[in-house]
Amino acid sequence: MKTPLLLATAALALPLAASAQKVTYEEHILPLFKNQCLKCHGSDKPKADVDLSTYSALMKGGSSGSIVTGGDPDGSVLYKVTTHAAEPTMPPKNKMAEKELDLIKKWIAGGLLENSGSKAVVVNRPKVDMTLTGAAFGKPEGAPPMPGDLLLEPVVRTARTSASTALAASPWAPLVALGGQKQVLLYNTDTLQLAGVLPFPEGFPHDVKFSRNGKLLLASGGRGANKGLAAVWDITTGERILTSGDEQDVPLAGDISSNQKWIALGGPDRLVKIYATATGEQLHKMKKHTDWVLAAEFNHDSTYLATGDRNGGVLVWDPEAGQEVQNFTGHRAAITALAWRTPDLLVSSSEDGTVKTWSVQEGAQVKTAAAHNSAVSVRVTVDGLMVTAGRDKTISIWDKEGNKGKTFTITNDVPVRATLSHDGKRVIATDWTGRVYAWDAADGKELTGLSLNPPTIAEQQELVAKRIADLEADLPKLQAKLAEATAATIKAKADADAAKTDAAKRPLNLAAEVAAKKQEEAMKAIDNAGAELKIAKSSVERLKLGAFYAQVWRAKADFSAHKDEQKRLLAEAESAKDAIKQAEADIKAAKKVKATTKEEKDKIAKRIKALEQSITDNKKLSSASKAAADKMVKPLVAEEKKLQALTSDYQKLKAASTATPQKSAKL
């Protein structure tokens, strides 16, 4: 039987979990762990590598990965094992008291605060379940996924751009993704026009990958030594449907499995992590690489994940189990890229200049090619064509049998990445100065239009207006030249016809041919100018639509942000009410404790006073939060009506527009 002193101490030890004071690791969770857990999970040889003695160690997780997910208690391993809802149960024999379990739950739900001054760590759960019933590598039914109404206004426009390692082509559509400054740019590879801008405010995308059905785009990146994550968009709507991972450094490689069940990330920490798209939970944390992980790619049917590191190591994993399948050695320098030729055959490029092909089932190298003096990129299309890039400033296409074909030369700087369009008709590459190259794969002609630093809509409108003015000013001159050439042709032919001898006809016929050729060139110049004028005028409508949609996009973003803030305030008010109820219950329990000494009575009185103050604070907080939320009702209604009106006007403008994507107008 507990003594009054022990009861009093227990009452005093109750943390202010539900009061105005935040639940934190230092003040509330660590004391609980010291009493119950640190004997097995302290810093000295912790079981399963789970060390609960420090906040940083806890956040690292154990040998099986993360054990807590901010904002998601039910998805956190720590909460599941402490409630004995999952094996191994902790503590093994006796479950913690409900109040202690509730404390852990509130700490996780509140964002895993380290102390009262910390910022909440809450994982963004996906808006939709992206998981497919099976692998989705084959061509989707109907038209391939292409951007619909997407933002065309760049998020960032700077005087100079930077190099990008993020380049990928859609497997089925004329679309390429380029990772720029705080944004991912989508370009139509047929027209070379900007098709959409996907904001990435967290920093710089270091890797981009299309899902195997071409509908989703993943970008992994962030800020070095600060923050890293993966973002996933639906490219048809531009909606960001998932944010996965909460890294302390920027992931340099990432991919999404063909069944859209997993996201893999790798980076400077030498770890490979796999996250579930359905929950955002980290499933596996694999330790085997000896240097930075620079490449990651799932195979066609999601049975394997390949990763490569800066030390030349290539590993193949079972993503379901998080276990190593193969360890390929043979490269003598950093792995720069990975690509799957078949579900079994893996291709790797390396700074050692070779491109190697490996068989997972055989566990051996099956082919090697000396592609460049230092290979920096390799990609394989769904049709089996391969493109490589090297520090020798060349990009090469390889056929399905692995034979080297046409080679393209970079004139500016060393290439960073290269890829082929879905149909193999375009070669796209980036270099270390931030320049983007595009070639026609058939004739090798260099094309223009792609940029990592596209002009704003206003700048584009100025360029188009100038182009139209120049073309319209040139047309009368071209028409005058055509009239002159036509008259000369008629006269030359008449002179030739009037000649009486063959000797006289010969030079006159030659002059007539020359005049006819000049007439043909003049007609062609007018036709080209007319076509360019048509394209430029079409661009006017397209840019007008883009500018209007930018208004809609900003209005939608503002409304969504204000709506989320209102929800937060209402949740804060409800949380404060719950804290008041808990504090009232704690006061009632404290008053029932029988204290026999002045020290015990003083401690209880101090405890009750603190709880009463928390009730006062929470009443103020609840009232203020509710009032602030209520104050937002009318402005939100007005914002929603404005958004609806803008959307309606945009749809009308879009319906009336005849703008269709055209070839580049040489702006």
Q: What is the CATH number of the domain that holds 408?
A: 2.40.10.480
- Cβ partners under 8 Å of residue 655, min gap 6: none
Greatest distance between any 2 Cα atoms in the chain: 141
Do residues 280 and 123 lie in contact, with contact meaning Cβ atoms separated by under 8 Å?
Answer: yes
Q: Residue 108 pLDDT > 90, yes or no?
A: no
Q: What is the pLDDT of residues 462-478, one digit of tens each?
A: 999 999 999 999 999 99
Q: What pLDDT shows up at residue 308?
A: 98
- Among residues of the chain, what percentage have pLDDT more than 90? 63
348 occurs within a structural domain: no
Q: Which two tokens stand for residue 115?
A: 């102390």
The CA distance from 88 to 85, in Å, is 9
- Which of 87, 108, 124 is the endpoint of a domain? 124
Q: Which two tokens stand for residue 162?
A: 């930077």
Report whether the peptide linkage leading into residue 46 is cis, meaning its omega lies within 30 degrees of zero.
no
384 occurs within a structural domain: yes
Show the domain range for 90.
Answer: 16-124
Q: What pLDDT shows up at residue 367?
A: 94
198 occurs within a structural domain: no
Q: Residue 660 pLDDT > 80, yes or no?
A: no
Q: Residues in the chain, how many?
A: 667
Do residues 41 and 47 lie in contact, with contact meaning Cβ atoms separated by under 8 Å?
Answer: yes
Contacts 24+ apart (CB under 8 A), 221-225: 221/166, 221/179, 221/250, 221/251, 222/247, 222/249, 222/250, 222/251, 223/250, 224/249, 224/250, 225/249, 225/250
447 occurs within a structural domain: yes
296 occurs within a structural domain: no
Q: Which two tokens stand for residue 70?
A: 């901010």
Q: Which of 272-276, 306-310, 359-363, 578-582 has the lowest mean pLDDT?
A: 578-582
439 occurs within a structural domain: yes
pLDDT band at 13 (very low <50, low <70, confident <90, very high): very low
The CA distance from 486 to 524, in Å, is 13
Provide the domain count of the chain. Answer: 2
Mean pLDDT of the chain: 89
Do residues 600 and 594 lie in contact, with contact meaning Cβ atoms separated by under 8 Å?
Answer: no
Q: Residue 483 pLDDT > 60, yes or no?
A: yes
28 occurs within a structural domain: yes
Is the model more confident about 358 or about 248? 358
- Which of 436, 454, 472 is the endpoint of a domain? 454
pLDDT band at 121 (very low <50, low <70, confident <90, very high): low
Q: What pLDDT shows up at residue 14?
A: 40
Do residues 276 and 262 lie in contact, with contact meaning Cβ atoms separated by under 8 Å?
Answer: yes
169 occurs within a structural domain: no
Mean pLDDT computed over 205-212:
97
Q: What pLDDT shows up at residue 501?
A: 83
User: Across-strand partners of 316?
Assistant: 306, 326
User: Across-strand partners of 350?
Assistant: 335
- Which of 95, 124, 153 is the endpoint of a domain? 124
Q: What pLDDT shows up at residue 80?
A: 86
Q: What pLDDT shows up at residue 125?
A: 57
Q: Give SS3 for 294.
A: strand
Mean pLDDT computed over 275-298:
93
- This prediction's pTM: 0.77
